[in-house]
Amino acid sequence: MKKIFGFLLIIAVLGGAAIAEAQQQGKIPWIGYLAGSGSGPSLAFMQGLRDLGYIEVKNIGFVFRTTEGRSGRNADLAAELVRLKVDVIVADGTGLALAAKKATSTIPIVITNSRDPVGTGLVASFARPGGNVTGLTNISGELGGKLLELLKETVPGLNRVAILTAKSAANDLFVKETEPSARALGVKIIHLVFRGPEDFEDAFRSATKGRANGLIVGLGPSASSVDFKRFVELTVKNRLPSIAAGSTWVDAGGLMSYGADRNMMYRRAAVYVDKILKGTKPADLPVEAPTKFEFVINLKTAKQIGLTIPPEVLARASRLIK
């Protein structure tokens, strides 16, 4: 693993000169990978490519760029990959994919996951994406009601839930589509907007002021691991039960998550890259919805915040963190 990331760091330093030389010699295709955090492409994505016969340096190369949780860098990093003339751009999230689409209409773009690719204008439709963008949707925009139901079943007396999201039209839609379920369950929604690390304390003050006794986290993959860890610490400190649509949240110490199996989605993204490198146009590759979901509960966190998970909820979990 260290060798892999060592290679990725070398590629990051070599940049355009290395790519230009390799492309001129017709050696290997180059993948530009945009992420909100991390030190390299998703391990599941890398394994997916290996399963398809791709070996780093030998027949494929990578340029990895991360915003480090700062969405203001999206456009610059996307433009950099375009200047480097990579063969395919892999975008780990909606915001990064939108930046890449704005930067190029010719380089194929594969989304590893997107909440609402049609509503945000990334693609024309799931069946016929059109243009140069395709990939995976996590349909998390449709999961708000399910997340709320699970939180309601888990937390006695739940009646006011804060929803934390980054500022975007897709996230506003997520909150709006959760409201019918909230009304049916007798829960008031408090929408909190996250613009950057400086908003953490304000978000919690707003949640406390609104007397929230539950939290739905909608930060998505573009948030850095540092952001997740800091926010997890605040939820534990304030004994606030939480749930998110991605297992990254629970692995960082959050209480619960329910959503698409991210590892499977990254492996499927590798399949999309393979097809594009073999000549298929993005416009001819339908956007794929997840087929496998996972419900994860962090029992250590439940104990820390003094919450007993009902047996019927525990029985439905696909994974427990003890």
Both 311 and 177 in one domain: the answer is yes
Q: What is the domain extent for residue 19?
A: 2-139+261-284
Domain count, the chain: 2
Comparing 205 with 106, which gets the higher pLDDT? 106
**158-182: pLDDT as tens digits:** 999 999 887 766 677 788 889 999 9
CATH number for the domain that contains residue 146: 3.40.50.2300
pLDDT at 119: 84
Based on the fold, state whether residues 159 and 78 are members of the same structural domain: no
Pairing verdict, β 256-260 and 293-298: antiparallel
Asked whether residue 44 carries a pLDDT value surpassing 60, the answer given is: yes
Q: Are 135 and 148 members of one domain?
A: no
Beta-carbon contacts of 54 under 8 Å, excluding residues fewer than 6 positions away, are 60, 274
Q: What is the pLDDT of residue 314?
A: 97
Distance CA(156)–CA(251), nearest Å, equals 24
- The reply to whether 28 and 128 lie within a common domain is yes
pLDDT average, residue stretch 234-258: 91
The verdict on 110 and 148 lying in the same domain is no
In 3D space, the residue among 309, 264, 316, 246 whose CA is nearest the CA of residue 37 turns out to be 246
Q: Residue 306, Cβ neighbours under 10 Å: how many?
A: 8
Do residues 147 and 125 both lie within one domain?
no
Q: Name the nearest CA neighbour of 78 among 222, 286, 194, 218.
A: 222
Between residues 9 and 170, which one has the greater pLDDT? Answer: 170
Rounded to the nearest angstrom, the gap between the alpha carbon of residue 25 and the centroid of all alpha carbons in its chain is 35
CA distance 290 to 125: 16
**Residues with Cβ < 8 Å from 214, sequence gap 6 or more?**
151, 152, 155, 158, 160, 161, 162, 187, 240, 241, 242, 243
More confident residue, 209 or 279: 279
Average pLDDT of span 284-299: 94
Q: What is the pTM of this model?
A: 0.81
Same domain, 149 and 110: no
Q: Are residues 117 and 72 in the same domain?
A: yes
> Do 43 and 130 have their domain in common?
yes
| Cβ neighbours of residue 271 closer than 8 Å, sequence gap 6 or more | 48, 52
Residues 169 and 308 grouped into a single domain: yes
The position carrying tokens 């390799």 is 22
Same domain for 192 and 311? yes
> Looking at residues 10-27, what average pLDDT do you find?
51
**Which strands sit side by side in the sheet containing 61-66, from one edge to the other?**
61-66, 30-35, 88-91, 109-111, 133-135
Highest mean pLDDT among 27-41, 207-221, 242-256, 273-287: 273-287
Distance (Å, whole) CA 117 – CA 139:
9
Pick the closest to residue 256 from 307, 193, 190 (CA basis). Answer: 307
Q: Are residues 270 and 175 in the same domain?
A: no
Express each pLDDT in 128-145 by its tens digit. Answer: 999 999 999 987 667 889
pLDDT at 202: 84
Mean pLDDT for all residues in the chain: 87
